[in-house]
Amino acid sequence: MAPEVFNIAQTPITCHAFSADHKQVAVSLNSNDAQIYTRQGAAWTPTETLSEHDKLITSIDWAPNSNRIVTASQDRNAYVWQQTPDPQTGKVTWKPTLVLLRINRAATHVRWSPKEDKFAVASGARAIAICSFDPENNWWVSKLLKKPIRSTVLSVDWHPNNVLLAAGSADMKARVFSAYIKEVDDKPAATVWGSKLPFNTICGEYASPAGGWVHAVGFSPSGNVLAFASHDSSISIVYPDGPAIYNIRISSLPFVTLTWTAEDTLVAAGHDCQPVVFSGSEAGWQGVGSLDDSTSAKAGAGPRAGPGGVGRLNSLAFSTFRDADTRGHTGAGGTPSDTKLLTVHQNTITSVRPYEVRGGRVSRVSTSGVDGNLVIWDADNVSAVAGAFGGLRV
């Protein structure tokens, strides 16, 4: 099935989160507001605006069961939005509740825990705020995970047991913490990450191979494997009980986001503008191919401009300058279509998330990009094409 492509805006989409029924999506269009779009046939129309933040919204998460939205922003605040009927008119609107984050730098990433009774906010204050609801005071309180984080936390991901939390940070490390809150959590069963788990226990710390910021982290569906993508154009898969770390250096630009689709498969995307599938097991991991079949559909489009095959630097730009130098050609060297990438996304992919689960596997994933596009991909439609992806080695 071909990917569904929706051009939501002419501005970058910083992040996106679908509602449980997929009829609505909350996005941040690189602004202070979160926009809710509702699907009408083949189009998305803006229906509501959540405005309360006074700086850029960096991350949004939509809890599927409790139907609550949480937004995190550079204004160091997070809000939990809940649909409540207006006492006078009875009209249902999204009402914000402020969260006491107690951080003094921007919030960078936010995710609900699997049970939706907690959420984690990553921040530039070298801390992760674990927030839980305090019914007595009717607000969200936070506890900070601080040690031993040395720099901005860029991403977080929850373990399915609702207690463990993975975090990727700009100090080039991916870590696994215990985010156990006595008032909320039952005593967790022992996992491969450890058995005694008081708050702020460090269950694992893994460095990126060539010193890149860890942009994205993710637990596998079972929670027994951790994957992280870092800015040194590599992706690492950690088996804590092995202990084995599989590191795949990729030949293209770095990934900034990833999601698992099954226990043996994950999708990563980023500056290369296409979602790439990796698969493997305890015995080893490798790149399989891209969800973006850039050869067949647009085969007539000529040589690939932009993130081409391995190591082909953009020869188009080179030849433009060479023509200008040797033959005095200026501008108009190529047609306007020359600047169009052969990938579906025309710019960096900012976020990839599971969209639809079928038979225990994520069958479709959604991506949003700096090009303002929201795309829904068939996660099994992997094209291992040479040329666009041929040189990927393990």
Residues of this chain that interact with another protein (CB under 8 A) are: 126, 150-151, 171-172, 207, 210-213, 231-234, 249-254, 307, 310-313, 391, 393
CB closer to another protein out of 147 and 358: 147
Q: Give the tokens for residue 43.
A: 């189009």
CA–CA dist 189, 197 (Å, integer): 9
Question: Nearest to residue 170, comparing CAs of 230, 246, 219?
Answer: 230
CA–CA dist 356, 338 (Å, integer): 35
CB of 117 to another protein, least distance (A): 32
Q: In what order do the strands lie in the sheet with 234-239?
A: 214-219, 226-230, 234-239, 244-249
CB closer to another protein out of 64 and 212: 212
SS3 12: coil
- Residues sharing a CB contact under 8 Å with residue 282, sequence separation 6 or more, in sequence order: 239, 242, 244
CB of 389 to another protein, least distance (A): 11
CB closer to another protein out of 308 and 369: 308
CB of 209 to another protein, least distance (A): 8
CB of 28 to another protein, least distance (A): 27
CB closer to another protein out of 12 and 270: 270
Cα dist. 16→9, 57, 239, 279 in Å? 13, 11, 29, 25
Number of Cβ atoms within 10 Å of the Cβ of 135: 7
Q: Give the tokens for residue 268.
A: 């990563």
Number of Cβ atoms within 10 Å of the Cβ of 115: 17
CB closer to another protein out of 213 and 219: 213
CB of 314 to another protein, least distance (A): 10
Q: Is the dihedral of CA 99, 108, 13, 292 positive or negative?
A: negative
CB of 114 to another protein, least distance (A): 33
CB closer to another protein out of 32 and 251: 251
